[in-house]
């Protein structure tokens, strides 16, 4: 997934204990609690609209009259909501087949979707569980990272060796239909829910693909067999024995331990240079991006967050960096998004290293992941994020210092001109 989060249950590499997710409760008990809370809220809104409020004293509740507010027209009138519910109950042929939970989830989903922000989404318990599994690195699906471009669902990148990659799905493909159903207006949660599924089952995608240098989109239909997807956070490889190449796949829950191990090996082998490869990395946890980027700085800002009131919060280097002087190159492409752009952007803005490749995806917002009753979830866009120089990448992306194309022909031949240029740049810095 291309979105990253600042969740209240994020594992902490420093050992401080954080609250875990709420325990599961019996379905009916949870639904009853949700309905009671909803009914209480609705009652409060209705009474406020009519000019009353509730007074609590000595375990007694009284309805007290007061003057109606001056901005009465701004109050929420739920008359239409209850009217629709009543009509459906009285007239809808199959109303008995619909559960109260489905009605409630549908109402909440519709309310959230009315914000027209594809990254703010309500997750049913099943969808929330699936999303958490993907951040943990294990799920059943096709192995494609998803995002939005101009409100159109797109493939940020297929995972290496995934079912999606095997059938030819490419970075930048628009997903127009899933099993014949249009994706227009879908949220990210809906896309994930419809594309993922049990291993062994198939899903058909209708893709829109624009070849480089052309303005005409080609329609491509592919059938993909789902299977279990397991994604590590990173892989460490060596080029020419002394140049470390760290391929970062995602900024998930296990990034901390894997990154610490990789850095220890880089230092232990006395690497002459480091290449960080965030191509096709859709992001993950913001804290993970700060941990990785902090390794290359002694102090200062990694990323800035700007909230709804315009206030700026500085996320600074959070530990003593150990790779402060090694020649550094970052590989980026169209599939590098969110947390990946934070790492690459901090390195570019603070002139610590060189960016090589293609322009990045351009996702510059932060979502907070909240756990709700009954294991449902709500992802809310809470702020923009900015580079240390206060520039935004949202909708713009990062422009590489050295632009290098990677064509389908290169991939077919097993060649990687972007990596080769990164190696050349490291050698230039070393003076070889």
- The CATH number that applies at residue 197 is 2.30.42.10
pLDDT level of residue 59 (50, 70, 90 thresholds): very low
The whole-number pLDDT of residue 329 equals 98
Decide if 402 is inside a domain.
yes
Last residue of a domain, one of 230, 253, 273: 230
The whole-number pLDDT of residue 189 equals 78
- Look at residue 419 and give its three-state secondary structure: helix
Instruction: Clarify whether residues 195 and 240 are in a common domain.
Output: no
Instruction: Clarify whether residues 225 and 247 are in a common domain.
Output: no
Instruction: Clarify whether residues 287 and 406 are in a common domain.
Output: yes
Decide if 183 is inside a domain.
yes
Query: Is 376 in contact with 128 (CB distance < 8 Å)?
Result: yes
What CA–CA distance (Å, rounded) separates 241 from 177?
Answer: 46
Instruction: Clarify whether residues 314 and 166 are in a common domain.
Output: no
What CA–CA distance (Å, rounded) separates 289 from 293?
Answer: 6
- The residues, any chain, with a CB within 8 Å of residue 173's CB and separated by 6 or more, are 154, 155, 207, 208, 209, 220
Highest mean pLDDT among 5-19, 154-168, 270-284: 270-284
Decide if 33 is inside a domain.
no
Instruction: Clarify whether residues 215 and 244 are in a common domain.
Output: no
Last residue of a domain, one of 174, 205, 230: 230
What would the two tokens of residue 53 be?
């409020």
Instruction: Clarify whether residues 226 and 244 are in a common domain.
Output: no
Instruction: Clarify whether residues 282 and 395 are in a common domain.
Output: yes
The whole-number pLDDT of residue 374 equals 87
The residue with greater pLDDT, 43 or 137, is 137
Instruction: Clarify whether residues 278 and 176 are in a common domain.
Output: no
Q: What is the 3-state secondary structure (H, E, C) of 252-311?
A: CCCHHHHHHHHHHHHHHCCCCEEEEECCCCCCEEHHHHHHHHHCCCCCCEEEEEEECCCC
What would the two tokens of residue 34 be?
């949700």
The torsion angles phi and psi of 169, rounded to 5 degrees, stand at -65, 135
Domain range for 223 is: 138-230
Decide if 91 is inside a domain.
no
Decide if 268 is inside a domain.
yes
- Look at residue 126 and give its three-state secondary structure: helix
Highest mean pLDDT among 19-28, 183-192, 371-380: 371-380
Partners of 307 in the β-ladder: 383
Query: Is 233 in contact with 248 (CB distance < 8 Å)?
Result: yes
From residue 401, alpha-carbon distances to 1, 110, 256, 332 in Å are 26, 43, 28, 10
Instruction: Clarify whether residues 422 and 281 are in a common domain.
Output: yes
- 21-30 contacts, C-beta under 8 A, 24 or more apart: 21/132, 21/371, 21/375, 22/371, 22/373, 22/375, 24/375, 25/374, 27/101, 27/374, 30/373, 30/374
Kindly report, residue by residue over 228-258, the tens digit of the pLDDT: 988 788 999 999 889 999 999 889 888 999 9
Query: Is 206 in contact with 219 (CB distance < 8 Å)?
Result: yes
Kindly report, residue by residue over 146-191, the tens digit of the pLDDT: 878 778 898 877 887 899 999 999 888 999 999 999 999 888 878 9
Last residue of a domain, one of 230, 250, 266: 230
Instruction: Clarify whether residues 259 and 329 are in a common domain.
Output: yes
Query: Is 304 in contact with 386 (CB distance < 8 Å)?
Result: yes
Average pLDDT on 35-64 reads 48
Decide if 406 is inside a domain.
yes
Instruction: Clarify whether residues 226 and 292 are in a common domain.
Output: no
> To which H or E segment does residue 417 belong?
helix 417-430
Q: What pTM does this model have? A: 0.66
Instruction: Clarify whether residues 307 and 413 are in a common domain.
Output: yes
Decide if 133 is inside a domain.
no
From residue 14, alpha-carbon distances to 17, 113, 343 in Å are 9, 37, 20
Query: Is 419 in contact with 237 (CB distance < 8 Å)?
Result: no
pLDDT level of residue 129 (50, 70, 90 thresholds): confident
Residue 357 belongs to a domain with what CATH number? 3.90.226.10
**How many structural domains are present in the chain?**
2
């Amino acid at each position: 997934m291309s979105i990253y989060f600042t969740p209240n249950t994020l594992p902490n590499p420093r050992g401080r204990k954080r609250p875990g997710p709420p325990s599961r409760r019996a379905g009916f008990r949870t639904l009853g609690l949700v309905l009671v809370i909803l009914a209480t809220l609705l009652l409060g809104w209705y009474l406020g609209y009519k000019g009353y409020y509730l007074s609590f004293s000595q375990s007694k509740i009284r309805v007290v009259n007061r003057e109606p507010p001056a901005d009465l027209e701004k109050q929420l009138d739920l008359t239409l909501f209850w009217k629709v519910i009543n009509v459906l109950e009285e007239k809808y042929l199959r109303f008995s087949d619909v559960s109260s939970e489905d009605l409630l989830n549908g109402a909440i989903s519709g309310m959230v979707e009315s914000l027209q922000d594809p990254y703010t989404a309500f997750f049913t318990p099943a969808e929330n569980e699936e999303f958490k599994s993907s951040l943990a690195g294990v799920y059943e699906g096709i192995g494609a990272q998803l995002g939005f471009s101009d409100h159109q669902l797109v493939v940020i990148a297929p995972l290496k060796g995934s079912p999606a990659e095997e059938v030819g799905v490419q970075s930048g493909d628009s997903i127009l239909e899933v099993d014949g159903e249009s994706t227009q207006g879908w949220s990210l949660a809906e896309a994930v829910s419809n594309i993922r599924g049990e291993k062994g089952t198939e899903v058909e995608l209708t893709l829109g693909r624009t070849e480089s240098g052309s303005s005409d989109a080609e329609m491509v239909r592919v059938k993909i067999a789902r299977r279990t997807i397991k994604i590590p956070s990173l892989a460490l490889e060596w080029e020419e024995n002394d140049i470390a190449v760290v391929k970062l796949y995602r900024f998930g829950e296990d990034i901390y331990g894997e990154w610490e191990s990789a850095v220890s090996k880089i230092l232990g082998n006395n690497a002459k240079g480091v290449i960080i490869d965030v191509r096709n990395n859709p992001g993950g946890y913001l804290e993970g991006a700060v941990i990785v980027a902090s390794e290359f700085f002694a102090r200062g800002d990694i990323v800035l967050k700007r909230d709804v009131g315009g206030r700026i919060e500085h996320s600074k280097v959070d530990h003593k960096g150990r790779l402060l002087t090694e020649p550094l190159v970052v590989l980026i492409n169209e599939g590098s998004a969110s947390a990946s752009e934070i790492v690459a952007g901090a390195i570019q803005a603070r002139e610590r290293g060189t960016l090589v490749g293609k322009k990045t995806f351009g996702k510059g917002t932060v979502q907070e992941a909240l756990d709700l009753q009954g294991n449902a979830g709500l992802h809310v866009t809470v702020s923009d994020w900015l580079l240390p120089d206060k520039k935004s990448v949202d909708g713009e992306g990062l422009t590489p210092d050295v632009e290098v194309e990677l064509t389908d022909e290169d991939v077919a031949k097993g060649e990687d001109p972007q990596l080769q240029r990164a190696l050349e740049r490291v050698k230039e810095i070393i003076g070889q």
